[in-house]
Amino acid sequence: MKEAEKFLRKLEIHKGKVAVLTGAGISTSSGIPDFRSPTGIYSKYDPEKLFGLDNFVKNPSYFYNFAVEYLFVMKEAKPNSTHFMLKELEKLGFIKGIITQNIDMLHEKAGSRNIANVHGSLKSGHCLSCGRVFSLEEMEKRSLESTDRVARCDCDGLIKPDIVFFGETLPEREVKMAYDMLENSDVVVAMGTTLAIYPVGAFPQIVLKRGGELVIVNGGPTSLDSVASEIYRVSLEDFSKRVLDMLRKTESE
Ligand SMILES: [Zn+2]
């Protein structure tokens, strides 16, 4: 596979000045269901009812039934070769870090350090009334113990997982981390994302505007293919394994 060689050469030239942007496509082989494909979550659950904040407050059972079916089980998921490749690339100083739209915590599990979770993560939640913070395990326990599946605080307030709902602003600290990475990078690599979701889909512009490059690694077309300097239309799993093999070879040399 020549693509992996070419990709690594690119990273070598810009070593330490590369930010990676990841999306749902890198986690599907870990069994994480995607939202937008024809058989994805949105074919079964209405996105507005699910992630509209007003709807959540009005009818939290709808969200929590979905959470029991899809979200709480994500904690059992294991990182795949793409997550491990990115961890390795960070460890070896090739990339600055990862900006992810995924809420599945698989980059953390793989051992990556510098991660901006710009759509939040499942790690925690908080009470919409008193602000008390809950772990994923506590949210799940409270949800499963309640007759309507809704996780509630001791104050009877509604617990909302710290994932970004429609219309909510992205978490400030995470966005700041993302901007720090992008403003100091010559290359942004978009992996497993169609770059169709705003505002994250516009992040590559930060690098492009300063004369940097966009490199795309994705199974299908993306919104920004026309402005990318390199496009790797590959199976992420195979591509990542090949890159990992090459990294291990150079490490042992
Ligand atoms: Zn509370």
Confidence bin at 192 (pLDDT 50/70/90) = very high
Q: What is the pLDDT of residue 230?
A: 97
**pLDDT value of residue 167:** 84
Better-scored residue on pLDDT, 1 or 65: 65
Going by pLDDT thresholds of 50, 70 and 90, the confidence category of residue 237 is very high
Owning domain of residue 111: 1-32+79-119+170-253
* Domain-ending residue, one of 131, 163, 195: 163
pLDDT of residue 34: 83
| Strand partners for 163 | 120
pTM over 0.85: yes
Structural element, H or E, at residue 106: helix 106-110
Question: How many whole angstroms separate alpha carbon 223 and alpha carbon 198?
Answer: 11
Return the minimum-mean-pLDDT range out of 14-28, 30-44, 105-119, 159-173.
Answer: 30-44
Q: How many angstroms does the Cα of residue 151 sit away from the middle of ligand 1?
A: 11
Residue 144 has pLDDT above 70, yes or no: yes
What is the percent of the chain with per-residue pLDDT over 90, rounded to a whole number? 90
- Check whether 222 has a pLDDT greater than 80: yes
192 and 226: one domain?
A: yes
Report the pLDDT averaged over residues 42-60.
93
Active-site residue flag, 119: yes
Is the domain of 20 the same as that of 140?
Answer: no
Does 38 have pLDDT greater than 90? no
% the chain with pLDDT above 70: 100
pLDDT of residue 1: 55
Q: Which two tokens stand for residue 140?
A: 């799940």
Give yes or no: residues 175 and 157 share one domain.
no
- Say whether both 212 and 195 belong to one domain: yes
3-state secondary structure 150-212: CCECCCCCEEEEEECCECCCCCHHHHHHHHHHHHCCCEEEEECCCCCCCCHHHCHHHHHHCCC
Residues 202 and 128 placed together within one structural domain of the fold? no
d(CA 190, CA 221): 12
Kindly give the distance from the C-alpha atom of residue 138 to the centroid of ligand 1, in angstroms, as a whole number: 13
- E-assigned strand segments in 74-141: 97-100, 115-117, 120-127, 133-135
Average the pLDDT over 76-99 and give the result: 98
- Read off the pLDDT of each residue in 187-214 and give the average, rounded to a whole number: 96
Question: Which residue among 83, 107, 119, 126 is the active-site one?
Answer: 119
Nearest to residue 79, comparing CAs of 22, 21, 27?
Answer: 27
Residue 40 confidence class, pLDDT cut points 50, 70, 90: confident
- Residue 236: band (very low, low, confident or very high) from pLDDT cuts 50, 70, 90: very high
CB-CB neighbours of 53 under 10 Å: 13
Residue 199 is part of a domain; what is its CATH number?
3.40.50.1220
Per-residue pLDDT, 145: 97
Q: Between 81-91 and 236-252, two packed helices, what is the crossing angle to 10 degrees?
A: 40
Give the chain's domain count: 2
Q: Are residues 180 and 234 in the same domain?
A: yes
Instruction: Please tell me whether residues 244 and 233 are part of one structural domain.
Output: yes
- Which of 31-35, 90-94, 104-108, 125-129 is predicted least confidently? 31-35
Q: How far, in Å, CA of 103 to CA of 107, rounded?
A: 10
Average pLDDT over residues 49-56: 94
**pLDDT at 55 (0 to 100):** 95
Q: How far is the CA of 70 from the centre of ligand 1 (A)?
A: 25
Other C-beta atoms closer than 10 Å to the C-beta of 246 total 16
In eight-state DSSP terms, residue 129 is T
Same domain, 92 and 205: yes
Q: Tell how far the Cα of 133 is from the centroid of ligand 1, in angstroms.
A: 9
142 alpha carbon – ligand 1 mean position (Å): 13
Are residues 89 and 186 both part of a single domain? Answer: yes
